[in-house]
Amino acid sequence: MRARGAKLRCCGVISGTSRDAVDVAIVEISGNYPKNKVIEIFSQSLSFPSGIHKRLLNLSEEATIEEIAALDFLLGEIFASCVLETLRISNLKPSDVDVIGCHGQTVLHRSEGIRIGRRKIKATHQIGNGGVIASLTGIPTVSDFRSADIASGGEGAPLVPILDYALFSSKTRSRVAINIGGISNMTVIPRGADPSRLQAFDCGPGNCMIDVTVRHLTNGTRKYDKDGRIAMRGDLDISEVKRIMRHPYFSRRPPKSAGWFEFGEDFTMRNVSRMERKGLGMSEIIRTLTQVTVEAVADSLKRFVLPSLKDEELPIDEAIVTGGGCRNPVIMRGLRERLKPIEVLVGEDLGINSDTKEAIAFAYLAYLRLMEIPANLITQNCGGRPAILGALYLP
pLDDT in tens, 296-308: 999 999 999 988 7
Q: Of 272, 288, 283, nearest to 239 (Cα)?
A: 288
pLDDT > 70? residue 15 = yes
Domains of the chain, each with CATH number or no CATH:
8-156+356-393 (3.30.420.40), 161-350 (3.30.420.40)
The partner residues of 30 in beta bridges, in order of sequence, read 37
Q: Which range has the worst mean pLDDT, 16-25, 137-146, 281-290, 350-359?
A: 16-25
pLDDT score recorded for residue 312: 60
Q: Please check whether residue 290 is in contact with residue 225, taking contact to mean a CB–CB distance below 8 angstroms.
A: yes
Q: Tell me the Cα Rg of the chain.
A: 20
Mean pLDDT of all residues in the chain? 93
Per-residue model confidence (pLDDT) at position 200: 96
Residue 37 pairs in a beta bridge with 30
How far is the C-alpha of 190 from the C-alpha of 169, rounded, in Å? 8
pLDDT(2) > 70? no
- The CA distances from residue 89 to 84, 85, 311, 351, 393, in Å, are 9, 6, 50, 22, 25
Asked if pLDDT for residue 295 goes beyond 90, the answer is yes
Give the model's confidence band at 260: pLDDT under 50 very low, under 70 low, under 90 confident, else very high.
confident
**Confidence (pLDDT) at 111:** 84
Phi-psi region of 60 (alpha: psi -120 to 50; beta: other; left: phi over 0): beta
Is pLDDT at 63 greater than 90 in this prediction?
Answer: no
For residue 341, say if its preceding peptide bond is cis, omega within 30 degrees of 0.
Answer: yes
Is 236 exposed, middle or buried, given 0-12, 13-18 or 19+ CB atoms closer than 10 A?
A: middle
* pLDDT bracket for residue 61 (50, 70, 90): low
Whether residue 146 has pLDDT greater than 80: yes
